[in-house]
Chains A and B, each alone.
Chain A
Amino acid sequence: MTLATNPSVAEAAEEVETSRRHRSYGRYVLGKVLGSLASLAFVLVVNFFLFRVLPGDPARNLSRGRFVSKGQLAAFNKTYGLDQSVPQQFLTYLNNTLHGDLGISIKYRVPVSQLILDRLWPTLLLVGTSTILAAIIGVWLGIRGAWKRGGAFDKASTGTSLTLYSMPEWWLGLLLIAVFAVGWGPIPGIFPTGGLHSVDAQPGTLSGVLDTAWHLTLPVITLTLAYLADYSLIMRSSLLDELGEDYLTTARAKGLRDIVVRNRHAVPNALLPTTTVIALSIGFVVSGAITIETVFSIPGLGLLGVDALETPDFWVLQGTFMVASAGVIAANLVANLLYGLLDPRVRT
């Protein structure tokens, strides 16, 4: 049984069409990579202007008048190349940055790039663990809430998520420290109030690892709760979007159990936007860590940036800002490529 009208011609045309569409995933990737490079260039420019042009007299402003004598000022300017013309400075800046030279820390007297590398892993450990935990719990909460929309569980979890969303995450951290590290009423303060390990800890041993995990428990809980609010609200609303779709009726009409309809058809589709949001939020690693690392005094990138404010150690400030922006751009790219892989519609 075939069709009345000549199918072969139409089908041949369709085949051509299809292969053209498949090839375009390469173009999609290329487009996204180029877009990211453009964003990176933009960040480089912004970074330059932010630290050298905007303050007017960078040396005086950024050092908050600590260089009193003319000689000191000139020396400062010469060290940091601030005595050159602006275009000349820009070229030097570009050249240095592209070679991984982010300047030398005024406070620590070591290269900023070295400083950043040293401080990277506590931040990654903190934010990475929290993101994974928050993603698992948040997605689960969102699915349960949306599936039984309006039920007691949904109301409780949405209310909690909204409250957590409205809360400065560092304030939540302060409360957790007060209750679980200092102790409150009958609750003993068993957790450390901050830091990454005890004074007598031996790094590299099992006890050293456990000690660090112990120190990271409260900060990870804090960040997890903060991220969780976002993820569960997004998962809930994208699943609610899917629940109205006709293809779920098709799935139910096929005789699938409700739970299978949910897990095989509705959830994978609803996960698409949520995945993007989670991937994107990983890019905000440094932003997320700034306040939590301050509150729990964890020596990561965020604390490095905040400490640099006091001095002010502005090459460090500039370096962390650069890393923070690059992180967002990289995560953006990953999110887009991931979306392209997961959702066949995006590729075309």
Chain B
Amino acid sequence: MSAVEGDGSTGVPATLSARQLARRRRRESFLRSWRIFRRNRSGMLGLVILAVFAFIALAAPLLASSQGLEVTQATGGVLEPPSSQYWLGTDDQGRSVLTLLIWGARISLFVGLAATVISMVIGTLIGLISGFSGGWAGAVLFRLTEWFLVIPFLPLAIVLATVLGRSLFNIVLVIGVTSWPGTALLIRSQTLSIKERAYIERARVLGAGRWHQMSRHVLPNVMPMVFANTTLTVAIAILAETTLSFLGLGDPTRVSWGSMLDDAFQVGAITTGAWWFIVPPGVCVVLVVLAFTLIGQALEEVLNPRLKGR
């Protein structure tokens, strides 16, 4: 944390200890929040589910060989039902559905997280600036946010994905640049309320620059809300990735849960009754999205006690 180093070299002990104090207070408030969070049963359930999937994604090479993804290396028959060799059966190319599922977790989580990072950066920046600077620039940014809010998300994402071409990077980009307005509005309203508080006034009287006020006072205070909002955005981003891949706009060279479902739909797995190709990827999506949603809600409750008991 840069707050401790900063310009501590001026050697004023009082300032330094004040900063250490601030740091310790932040640590304590984090621990307090964690204690509240731990009592939230649905939040903890979400955390456990997420931990399981994070483990699967990270340990994918250990759990299943990546050769199982190659169509040419496929050993099973077409749409074989679950057996002792293929626990979740095979797909239309004879690949193990379980292997696809394990590797698909990587793509889904990666796209979800990476798109969220983009969305958060854009949303936080625009929200902060439009809330903090007021005046002309603030008004323009606010209008821009509202405009982006009315553009229907899925059609825009589809159009962008079509125009930009089909790759993993583009999918991340498309989801990232279409899902920031909600965050921006949230950050803006938080910034506006924090701006009114006394300590910003004090910082202004003491002659602190705008950037200083923003980075030292506003940002640390909006960060918790950003954090809670992030988890909810990941859920939406993962759903968006699944839907775009299902519509055939995903990266054709990679397997994700969405592209598996696209394959299943295209080869008529529904009419042939190959449930093992349809049910498991969907269940994985539901579980991961639910996990992020539960965690996000629990975080909001921790940060905003008024919501308690929802």
A–B: direct contact at CB < 8 Å:
yes
Contact, CB under 8 Å: A61 / B163: yes
Residues of B within 8 A of A (CB): 143, 146-147, 150-156, 158-160, 162-163, 235, 239, 242-243, 246-249, 261, 264-265, 270-271, 273, 275, 278-279, 282, 285-287, 289-290, 293-294, 309-310
Contact, CB under 8 Å: B163 / A167: no
A49-79: contact bitstring with B at CB < 8 Å (1 yes, 0 no)?
A: 0110011000001100000000000000000
Name the contact of B154 in the complex, choosing from A149, A193, A290 (C-beta under 8 A). Answer: A290
Contact, CB under 8 Å: A166 / B235: yes
Contact, CB under 8 Å: B154 / A162: no
Contact, CB under 8 Å: B246 / A163: no
Asked whether any CB of chain B lies closer than 8 Å to the CB of A256, the reply is no
Residue of A nearest to B147 (CB): A42
Which chain B residues border A167 with CB–CB below 8 Å?
Answer: 282, 285-286, 289
Residues of A within 8 A of B (CB): 35, 38-39, 42-43, 46, 50-51, 54-55, 61-62, 149-150, 162-163, 165-168, 170-171, 174-175, 177-178, 182, 184, 193, 236-237, 240, 283-284, 286-287, 290-291, 294-295, 305-306, 309, 312, 314, 317, 320-321, 324-325, 327-329, 332
Contact, CB under 8 Å: B243 / A168: yes
Contact, CB under 8 Å: B147 / A171: no
Contact, CB under 8 Å: B151 / A325: yes
Contact, CB under 8 Å: B155 / A312: no
Given A168-B242, A328-B150; A290-B310 close (CB under 8 Å):
no
Which chain B residues border A162 with CB–CB below 8 Å?
Answer: 290, 293-294
Which chain A residues border B293 with CB–CB below 8 Å?
Answer: 162, 165-166
**Distance of A320 Cα from B159 Cα, bound (Å):** 10
Name the contact of A240 in the complex, choosing from B247, B278, B310 (C-beta under 8 A). Answer: B310
Contact, CB under 8 Å: A321 / B155: yes
Residue of B nearest to A193 (CB): B271
Given A55-B163, A166-B289, A168-B246; A43-B310 close (CB under 8 Å):
no
16 contacts between A and B (CB under 8 A): A35-B146, A39-B150, A150-B309, A163-B286, A165-B293, A166-B239, A166-B290, A171-B261, A171-B285, A171-B286, A178-B273, A178-B278, A184-B273, A240-B310, A291-B246, A320-B155
Which chain B residues border A168 with CB–CB below 8 Å?
Answer: 239, 242-243, 246, 282, 285
**Distance of A50 Cα from B161 Cα, bound (Å):** 11
Q: Which 6 A-B pairs have the closest CB atoms?
A: A166-B289, A166-B290, A171-B282, A287-B154, A42-B147, A287-B152
B235 → chain A, closest Cβ, in Å? Answer: 7
**Distance of A166 Cα from B296 Cα, bound (Å):** 13
**Distance of A211 Cα from B70 Cα, bound (Å):** 45
**Distance of A168 Cα from B279 Cα, bound (Å):** 12
Name the contact of A182 in the complex, choosing from B154, B271, B279, B310 (C-beta under 8 A). Answer: B271
Q: Which of B155, B156, B239, B309 has the most CB of A within 10 A?
A: B155
Given A162-B294, A305-B155; A174-B248 close (CB under 8 Å):
no
Contact, CB under 8 Å: A309 / B282: no
A304 → chain B, closest Cβ, in Å? Answer: 12
Contact, CB under 8 Å: A312 / B275: no
B244 → chain A, closest Cβ, in Å? Answer: 10
Which chain A residues border B155 with CB–CB below 8 Å?
Answer: 286-287, 290, 305, 320-321, 324-325
Which chain B residues border A171 with CB–CB below 8 Å?
Answer: 242, 261, 278, 282, 285-286
Residue of A nearest to B287 (CB): A166
Which chain A residues border B273 with CB–CB below 8 Å?
Answer: 178, 182, 184
Contact, CB under 8 Å: A294 / B247: yes
Q: Which of B249, B271, B287 has the most CB of A within 10 A?
A: B271
Q: Which of A43, A177, A294, A309 has the most CB of B within 10 A?
A: A309
Given A163-B286, A317-B162; A178-B275 close (CB under 8 Å):
yes
> What 16 new A-B contacts, CB under 8 Å, besides A167-B286, A168-B239?
A38-B143, A43-B147, A62-B163, A166-B286, A167-B285, A170-B243, A171-B278, A178-B278, A184-B275, A287-B154, A290-B247, A306-B158, A309-B247, A312-B162, A328-B151, A328-B152
Q: Which of B147, B275, B285 has the most CB of A within 10 A?
A: B147
Contact, CB under 8 Å: A175 / B310: no
Residue of B nearest to A40 (CB): B150
Which chain B residues border A150 with CB–CB below 8 Å?
Answer: 309
Q: Which of B154, B249, B265, B290 has the most CB of A within 10 A?
A: B154
Contact, CB under 8 Å: B285 / A309: no
Residue of A nearest to B240 (CB): A168
**Distance of A314 Cα from B242 Cα, bound (Å):** 23
Contact, CB under 8 Å: B286 / A332: no
Contact, CB under 8 Å: B278 / A175: yes
Residue of B nearest to A158 (CB): B310
Which chain B residues border A178 with CB–CB below 8 Å?
Answer: 270, 273, 275, 278
A186 → chain B, closest Cβ, in Å? Answer: 14
Which chain A residues border B287 with CB–CB below 8 Å?
Answer: 166
A282 → chain B, closest Cβ, in Å? Answer: 12
Given A50-B160, A168-B239, A178-B278; A309-B249 close (CB under 8 Å):
yes
Which chain A residues border B261 with CB–CB below 8 Å?
Answer: 171, 174
Given A286-B155, A290-B154, A328-B152; A51-B163 close (CB under 8 Å):
yes
B173 → chain A, closest Cβ, in Å? Answer: 12
**Distance of A187 Cα from B158 Cα, bound (Å):** 36
Which chain B residues border A50 with CB–CB below 8 Å?
Answer: 159-160, 163
**Distance of A305 Cα from B158 Cα, bound (Å):** 9
Contact, CB under 8 Å: B150 / A290: no
**Distance of A321 Cα from B151 Cα, bound (Å):** 9
**Distance of A237 Cα from B310 Cα, bound (Å):** 7
**Distance of A251 Cα from B220 Cα, bound (Å):** 43
Which chain A residues border B290 with CB–CB below 8 Å?
Answer: 162-163, 166
**Distance of A38 Cα from B147 Cα, bound (Å):** 9
